[in-house]
């Protein structure tokens, strides 16, 4: 998702203007919001829950601390953070898409997760929070949809307190060639059809598959995090690198 000199970027395999991309991504997530959780379970065979559980276990959050969940979607990480920080802490759940944020808020309320959580429409590139506001910032399966990834990483670094930790959970590059071939067959041959059957929208899931291929791989994303000011950047490959959790600190 590299920004080019002429102000264009990638929307899946299409080249679009940077100003056009947010509305295109917004349309995708408004379309899939109601079936988002069902599709996540179907596409990953439920594994996304284990990936998010692992990410939450790496947060380092303690009772009384503050967490920001960017592009929070239906709120799986927010719910985990809400339990970690306890009644004396605070979780802010954000998304740029109102339909997705509404979906996440409704799920949190249904789960009884209230009292120490707030909701905000927020663009990952322009986080309207004070400097050094949070002990942990996360973005889960959302960074590849951001128009300017370096700008979003700098924004997340800015709102972290010294010693605070960033978690980036995202699809990445499988580590072996046979797995990459199998993953391509599944991604392009099955997921759009699944999207049509379950969500009535093959095109949105075709974009989501293409966006994964345009996302920086493990080493490139780590370098981008370091350029944004993060220290001690590491990643953990999950499912053979199909997914990776990147972590970094603001010191």
For 81-121, the pLDDT digits (tens) are 999 999 999 999 999 999 999 999 999 999 999 999 999 99
What percentage of the chain exceeds 90 in pLDDT?
Answer: 94
Q: CA 65, 151, 125: angle at the middle one, nearest 5?
A: 65
8 Å CB contact between 251 and 157: no
Number of neighbours of residue 181 by Cβ within 10 angstroms: 11
Q: How far apart are CA 161 and CA 134, in angstroms?
A: 6
Number of neighbours of residue 34 by Cβ within 10 angstroms: 13
Confidence (pLDDT) at 6: 53
* C-alpha 117 chain-centroid distance: 19
Confidence (pLDDT) at 3: 45
Contacts with 6 (C-beta within 8 Å, 6 or more apart), sequence order? none
Confidence (pLDDT) at 7: 87
Confidence (pLDDT) at 4: 45
Q: Give me the residues of the chain with pLDDT under 70, please.
A: 1-6
Give me the domains of the chain, ranges plus CATH numbers: 30-250 (3.40.50.150)
pTM of the entire predicted model: 0.94
* C-alpha 45 chain-centroid distance: 19
């Amino acid at each position: 998702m590299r920004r080019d000199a002429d102000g264009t970027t990638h929307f899946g395999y299409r080249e679009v203007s940077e100003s056009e991309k947010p509305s295109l991504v917004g349309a995708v997530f408004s379309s899939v919001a109601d079936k988002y959780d069902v599709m996540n379970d179907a596409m990953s065979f439920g594994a996304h829950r284990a990936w998010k559980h692992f990410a939450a276990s790496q947060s380092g959050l303690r009772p009384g601390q503050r967490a920001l969940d960017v592009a929070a979607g239906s709120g799986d990480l927010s719910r985990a953070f809400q339990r970690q920080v306890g009644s004396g802490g605070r979780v802010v759940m954000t998304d740029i898409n109102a339909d997705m944020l509404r979906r996440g808020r409704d799920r949190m309320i249904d789960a009884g997760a209230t009292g120490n959580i707030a909701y905000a429409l927020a663009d990952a590139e322009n986080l309207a929070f004070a400097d050094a506001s949070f002990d942990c910032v996360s973005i889960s399966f959302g960074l590849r949809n951001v128009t300017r990834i370096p700008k979003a990483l700098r924004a997340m670094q800015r709102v972290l307190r010294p010693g605070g930790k960033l978690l980036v959970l995202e699809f990445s590059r499988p580590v072996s060639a046979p797995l990459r071939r199998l993953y391509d067959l599944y991604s392009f041959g099955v997921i759009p059809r699944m999207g049509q059957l379950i969500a009535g929208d093959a095109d949105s899931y075709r974009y989501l598959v293409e966006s994964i291929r345009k996302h920086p791989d493990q080493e490139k994303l780590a370098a981008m995090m370091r350029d944004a000011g993060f220290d001690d950047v590491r990643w953990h490959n999950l499912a053979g690198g199909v997914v990776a959790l990147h972590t970094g600190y603001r010191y």
